[in-house]
């Protein structure tokens, strides 16, 4: 069984948060759900839950819209191209840019955790 994550948690994962109130901006995900047929959350008791695969697609949509400045229709066209599903190694592809950025972000988080562990070890060694 796949792990399902509620809409507020997904908004936080995507950093769709109101700066003033610190509340998740769930309406963005609901809008993207209407625009992108590929996103179909499971509804349980009238609440939306997303799979990890859908969250990855949402991350890519946000990256293409916000970081690459693409339009909704441009992102739709890119996601609808079946050939792009296997296009991870193409260094000029937009999806490759997303994956490079994603790997870089994850690497930085891991290095930060390692750094904190090392610092903690130094403090306790003395």
Residue 5 has pLDDT above 50, yes or no: yes
Burial class (CB in 10 A: 0-12, 13-18, 19+), 110: exposed
Kindly report the CATH number assigned to the domain that includes residue 35: 1.10.1660.10
Supply the pLDDT for residue 18.
87
Residue 105 lies in a domain: no
Residue 55 lies in a domain: yes
CA dihedral (98, 55, 81, 28) positive or negative: negative
Residue 63 lies in a domain: yes
Encode pLDDT of 27-57 as tens digits.
999 999 999 988 999 999 999 999 999 999 9
The number of C-alpha atoms within 13 Å of 52 and in the hemisphere containing its C-beta is: 3
Residue 84 has pLDDT above 60, yes or no: no
Question: What is the pLDDT of the chain when averaged over all its residues?
Answer: 83
Average pLDDT over residues 90-114: 75
Distance CA 73, CA 65 (A): 10
CA 49 to chain centre: 15
CA dihedral (54, 62, 81, 34) positive or negative: positive
Residue 18 lies in a domain: yes
With a pLDDT cut of 70, the percent of the chain lying above it is 84
Supply the pLDDT for residue 126.
57
* 4-6 β-sheet, strand order: 4-6, 47-51, 42-44
pTM, rounded to two decimals: 0.67
Residue 111 lies in a domain: no
Name residue, tokens 């499971």: 42
Domain coverage including residue 60 = 4-80
């Amino acid at each position: 069984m796949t792990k399902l994550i509620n809409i507020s948690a997904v908004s936080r994962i995507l950093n769709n948060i109101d700066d003033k109130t610190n509340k998740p901006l769930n309406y963005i995900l609901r809008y993207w759900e209407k625009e992108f047929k590929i996103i179909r959350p499971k509804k349980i008791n009238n609440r939306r839950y997303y799979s990890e695969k859908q969250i990855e697609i949402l991350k890519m949509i946000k990256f293409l819209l916000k970081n690459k400045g693409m339009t909704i229709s441009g992102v739709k066209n890119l996601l609808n191209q079946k050939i792009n599903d296997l296009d991870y190694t193409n260094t000029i592809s937009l999806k490759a840019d997303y994956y490079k950025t994603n790997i870089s972000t994850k690497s930085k988080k891991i290095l930060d955790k390692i750094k904190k562990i090392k610092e903690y070890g130094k403090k306790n060694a003395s």
